[in-house]
C-alpha cells in the first residue's frame, strides 16, 4: 500500500514520523510531506520529509492518482476542502484518514471498506495510542460488510448500489442470502444464509449466476486464460474476441487472473495489450513445459500447430499450466486466427482473513 502523509505544524511532523515507522514495520511504504513555513529544505531532508511549496489542492489531486491512502495530520476541514474536487467513487477513491495534530483521534473519512481506510485507521490508532473513529454502519452494528469482504479478497463487485442495499438490510437486522460456486473455508456469519431462499443476496462466482431474485456478484480472479494467435494479430481484435467469448458464456472478464501463451509469443504486442486491458499479468511457457500439462478430457490437438510450435495445442495447455489444474472451463475456441481456452484455478473462499 502506497501512502502519503501531510502535516502543517512541527508537532504534526512528529506524529507523521511515528506513523511512518509503525507503518513501515507492517510493510506499508510512506511519503511524509510538510506544508509549513520556517522550515528549511535541508532540515526537512535530514528528517526524510518532503516540503510542499505549491497548493495543497494540487498536491491532493496528484496523490489521489498515485497513492492508495492519504493521511492528513491536522483539521478535518482542511482535509475535506482538499479532497472535495477529486472524490469520485468508492470503487476507485483512495483511503483518506485524518489524525488530529495531537495524535488523540484517528478518523476514517473516505473509502472505509473498499479502500481500506477503516483498517488503516485502526492501525494508525494503535501506533499512536489514539482513539479510532469509524462511522460505517456495518462496523458500528458489528455486521458483515460485503464491500470490505470483497476488497480484502481482491474480488470484483458488479454493483455498488446492490452492495449498499445489502449493507442496509444487514444493519436493519434482516438475513441476506449467500451463494458460493467454490468451496468455503471458515464459519458463516449468522446474518448470512448460505444457499438460502432470500430474495436478496450475493454470489461468489465467475459467472452471472442468479441464485437470488436480486443478486450481487463478488467475482474472484479464479480463471486462467490461455491464448494463441497468428503473428502480428491486432490487440483490439484479441480484446474483442476474448470479451465476446466470455460474454457468450456469461463469465465476468474480471474473473481472469492472468493470460498465458507459448514462449514463441513472448513479444506478441497483441497479447501484451490483451493482458493490460484485463489488468492481469502475461505468462509464457516453453513447448516442453506445455507438454507437461494434463487434462481430464484430453486436448484438441493440431498437427499444423505442433509443426509450428512444437506442441499440438497452445491455448488449452497454457490455461491448464497456468491454473495448475486438470479440468478445462472453456475448451479450444477459434476465430480469425485466434484461439482461447480457460481453466479454473483451485480457488477456495476463505471467510476469515
Structural domain includes residue 351: no
CA 223 – CA 156 distance, rounded (Å): 13
Same domain, 319 and 215: no
Same domain, 184 and 169: yes
Sign of torsion over alpha carbons 338, 339, 345, 349: positive
Contact in structure between 290 and 262 (CB atoms under 8 Å): yes
Same domain, 195 and 304: no
Instruction: Give residue for cell 498515485.
Output: 66
The residue from 135, 162, 181 where one domain ends is 135
pTM: 0.73
Same domain, 125 and 159: no
98: which strand partners? 72, 107
CA 233 – CA 227 distance, rounded (Å): 12
Decide if pLDDT at 8 tops 80: yes
Q: CA-based diameter of the chain, in Å? A: 76
CATH number, domain containing residue 30:
3.40.50.11220
Same domain, 261 and 330: yes
Q: Which domain holds residue 238?
A: 223-344
Same domain, 125 and 12: yes
Contact in structure between 324 and 345 (CB atoms under 8 Å): yes
6: which strand partners? 33, 72
CATH number, domain containing residue 166:
3.40.1390.40
DSSP class of 94: P
Q: How many CA atoms lie within 13 A of 278 on its CB side?
A: 29
At 154 the three-state DSSP class reads coil
Q: How confident is the model at residue 112 (pLDDT cuts 50, 70, 90)?
A: confident
Same domain, 264 and 204: no
The residue from 163, 184, 219 where one domain ends is 219
Query: What percent of the chain is predicted at pLDDT more than 90?
Result: 72
Structural domain total, the chain: 3
Structural domain includes residue 352: no
* All three cell numbers of 274: 490483451
The residue from 135, 168, 190 where one domain ends is 135
328 Cβ neighbours under 8 A, 6+ residues apart? 295, 297, 316, 319, 320, 341, 342, 343
* All three cell numbers of 342: 480457460
CA 296 – CA 177 distance, rounded (Å): 34
Same domain, 231 and 333: yes
Q: What is the pLDDT of residues 135-175, one digit of tens each?
A: 877 666 678 889 889 988 999 999 989 998 998 898 888 99
Amino acid at each position: 500500500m502506497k501512502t502519503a502523509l501531510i502535516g502543517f505544524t512541527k508537532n504534526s511532523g512528529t506524529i507523521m514520523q511515528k506513523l511512518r515507522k509503525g507503518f513501515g514495520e507492517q510493510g506499508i511504504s510512506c511519503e511524509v510531506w510538510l506544508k509549513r513555513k520556517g522550515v528549511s529544505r535541508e532540515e526537512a531532508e535530514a528528517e526524510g520529509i518532503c516540503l510542499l511549496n505549491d497548493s495543497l489542492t494540487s498536491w491532493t489531486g496528484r496523490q489521489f492518482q498515485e497513492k492508495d491512502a492519504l493521511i492528513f495530520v491536522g483539521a478535518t476541514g482542511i482535509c475535506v476542502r482538499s479532497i472535495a474536487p477529486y472524490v469520485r467513487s468508492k470503487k476507485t477513491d483512495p483511503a483518506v484518514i485524518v489524525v488530529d495534530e495531537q495524535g488523540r483521534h484517528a478518523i476514517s473519512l473516505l473509502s472505509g471498506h473498499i479502500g481500506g481506510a477503516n483498517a488503516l485507521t485502526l492501525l494508525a490508532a494503535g501506533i499512536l495510542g489514539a482513539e479510532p473513529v469509524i462511522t460505517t454502519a456495518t462496523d458500528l452494528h458489528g455486521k458483515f460488510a460485503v464491500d470490505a469482504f470483497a476488497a480484502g479478497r481482491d474480488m470484483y463487485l458488479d454493483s455498488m448500489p446492490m452492495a449498499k442495499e445489502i449493507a442496509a438490510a444487514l444493519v436493519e437486522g434482516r438475513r441476506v442470502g449467500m451463494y458460493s460456486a467454490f468451496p468455503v473455508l471458515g464459519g458463516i456469519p449468522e446474518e448470512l444464509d448460505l444457499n438460502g431462499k432470500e430474495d436478496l443476496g450475493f454470489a461468489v462466482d465467475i459467472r452471472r449466476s442468479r441464485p437470488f431474485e436480486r443478486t450481487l456478484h463478488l467475482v474472484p480472479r479464479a480463471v486462467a486464460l490461455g491464448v494463441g494467435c497468428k503473428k502480428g494479430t491486432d490487440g483490439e481484435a484479441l480484446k474483442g474476441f476474448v470479451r465476446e467469448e466470455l460474454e457468450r458464456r456469461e463469465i465476468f472478464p474480471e474473473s481472469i487472473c492472468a493470460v498465458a501463451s507459448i514462449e514463441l509469443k513472448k513479444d506478441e504486442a497483441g497479447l501484451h495489450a490483451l493482458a493490460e486491458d484485463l489488468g492481469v499479468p502475461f505468462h509464457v511457457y516453453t513447448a516442453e513445459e506445455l507438454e507437461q500439462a494434463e487434462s481430464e478430457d484430453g486436448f484438441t490437438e493440431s498437427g499444423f500447430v505442433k509443426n509450428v510450435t512444437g506442441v499440438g495445442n497452445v491455448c488449452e495447455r497454457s490455461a491448464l499450466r497456468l491454473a495448475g489444474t486438470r479440468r478445462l472451463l472453456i475448451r479450444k475456441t477459434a476465430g480469425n486466427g485466434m484461439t482461447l481456452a480457460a481453466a479454473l484455478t483451485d480457488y477456495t473462499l476463505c471467510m476469515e482473513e
